[in-house]
Structure formats: structure tokens, C-alpha cells
Homo-oligomer: A and B are copies of this chain.
Amino acid sequence: MQRHFVQELEALKTNLIRMGSLAEQAVHDSIRAMIERDAELASGVIAKEGRINAFELENDDAVVDLLALQQPVASDLRFILSGLKINNDLERIGDHAVNIAESAISYADRPKLTIELALPRMGEIAETMLREAIDGFIHANPALARGVLRNDDIIDDLNRQTVGELVHVIRTDPEAVEQALDLVRVSRNLERIADLATNIAEEVIYVTEAHVVKHHLEEKAGPPSGRDR
């Protein structure tokens, strides 16, 4: 029984790693499709979303089995519940990659904007964040995960800057509005992907250090009832 449990736990971990790779690939391809105006590559991202979603259902089932049949406690339980959240976050990252791919297809069909934007850099940072969050999970390394948290502010700033520049484009060239809106959507989806990588990193820190970094210092209103973390 004990050995069976360890094997199932390893299988869940392996599945999350594979799902993370698919999500990373989807983000990478969707951004490249947007930059290179490659509608075929973008269509590939959309076609492959089903694999990520299938992993999510598979992992949900694995968690239910682990909890129902094995009744784990303490650190195993914490790991399994974090796995459930990471599973959900990876599925959402897949959704955002699909949004970017849809915008890439729309953008590839229209005259290219000549403006130099931070989107490629945002894409690189978001990919790095996602990779390091997943590496942090694989190696139970909270230091890696903490680096992810720091990058989130950079992406937020670049998103604001990029949207501002696109608003200027629309003002000066109303004919470019569809392209500019496609790129606004890409920028906002990259910002959301970075948020989700941050969520994963927070789970990694939580599971390795049993410390909630989520909602940092924003809980000024205080929790609905007493707690001390």
C-alpha cells in the first residue's frame, strides 16, 4: 500500500511536469506565431489545447484517487492539494496561449504594425517565469520560485507601457485599430500568464516552506475570522 502510494504520487508529479511542458510550448509557440505572423503555428497551438485539458481531468482524477484511497496526511496532503492548484493554473495558461494564438491569426491577416513593442521581451520573461515556477516545483526549490515573484512586477510595468503605446497608435492611425487591439489582447494575456506562473511559484513556496505568500500584504481588511499567518 505504502509503495503504491509513493508511485501514484510520483505519477501525479510526472503528469504535472509533462502538462507544464505542454503549457510552456503553447505560450512559446503562440508568441512566436504573433511575432512571425505565422497563422499555421497559431492554429497548432489551438489544436493542441485539448491535450492540456485532458491532462487536467486526468490529474483531477488522480488527486481524488490519492485522497480517497490513501488518506494522506501532513506534507503529502499539502503536496497533493498544491498539485491540484498547479493543475488548474496550467490549464488556464493553456487557455491564455489559445487567446494569444487567436489574436496572432487575426493579426497575421492584416497589415503589420511598424511600431517596436515590448511584446517579444514580455513573452521571454513570461516563459522564463513559467519554466522557473515548474522547475521550482520539480526540484522543491523555493529560491527559484521567489525569482518568479520578482519578475511579475516587470511584466505588469511592460503591459501598462505596451497598452499605452498601442493607444497612441490607435489615436494617430485609426486604420490600425484592429491590429492594435489584437496586440493589446496579447499583452494582457501575457500579463495573466505571468500572474498564473506567480500563483504556481507561490504554491511551490507554500508547499516547500508551509508559508503563504499569496495576497502578500494586501489583506488590510483582515481575514473573516482569526488566523495568524
Chain A contacts to B: CB under 8 angstroms: 15, 18, 47-51, 53-58, 60-61, 63-64, 67-68, 71, 73-74, 77-78, 81, 84-85, 88, 163, 167, 170-172, 174-175, 177-178, 181, 184, 212, 214-215, 218-225, 227, 229
Q: Are B174 and A227 in contact (CB under 8 A)?
A: no
What chain B residues lie within 8 Å of A225 (beta carbons)?
Answer: 58
CB distance from A136 to the nearest CB of B (A): 20
Q: Are A215 and B57 in contact (CB under 8 A)?
A: yes
What chain B residues lie within 8 Å of A15 (beta carbons)?
Answer: 224
- Give chain A's interface secondary structure class: helix
Interface centre among A58, A60, A163, A221 (most CB of B within 10 A): A221
CB distance from A115 to the nearest CB of B (A): 15
Q: How many copies does the complex hold?
A: 2
Having A88-B88, A171-B174, A172-B174, one finds 6 other A-B pairs with CB under 8 Å, namely A67-B77, A68-B73, A71-B73, A170-B170, A170-B174, A171-B175
What chain B residues lie within 8 Å of A77 (beta carbons)?
Answer: 64, 67-68
Q: Are A51 and B81 in contact (CB under 8 A)?
A: no
Q: Could you show 7 A-B contacts with beta carbons less than 8 Å apart? A: A54-B221, A54-B224, A57-B215, A81-B84, A167-B177, A167-B181, A170-B170
